[in-house]
Amino acid sequence: MSTNNKTEAEWRAILSPEQFRILREKGTERPGTGEYDKFAKEGIYNCAGCGTPLYKSSTKFDSGCGWPAFFDAIPGAVSRHEDISFGMRRIEITCTACGGHLGHVFKGEGYSTPTDERHCVNSVSLKFHDEKVKG
């Protein structure tokens, strides 16, 4: 379900101004303000831009960072890109289907998760569904 061919005007028409700022302009929500930071229901987190399933609730953990944190994505759903903005070297994560900015992934921070990764995701980039995903 590739939606990379949407124009900026089309994205502006379907996303809220805050969703557009984060998903399309690589913005960041303020820490501790996101809807899913302390959220703990069972289900699937989809891309707020295109609806693609990105994360299962079983991979979400409380990192205390102020944003929703996951230790792994649904296979193939999230792409990684080097981000050298703000004088830092980080790994940006985007929705593979539409290219929407999700946040960043950090490795080796010492969390007791199976991957030792923290996918630090903006709540605005996500839409939760309390349905099960197969597999």
* Of 47, 50, 98, 120, catalytic: 120
Tell me the C-alpha distance between 45 and 47, whole Å. Answer: 7
Beta strands at 60-61 and 101-107: parallel, antiparallel or unpaired? unpaired
Question: Is 120 one of the annotated active-site residues of the chain?
Answer: yes
Tell me the C-alpha distance between 1 and 88, whole Å. Answer: 32
Q: What Cα–Cα distance (Å) separates residue 87 from each residue in 2, 26, 83?
A: 32, 16, 9
Tell me the C-alpha distance between 39 and 19, whole Å. Answer: 19
What residues are labeled active site? Answer: 120
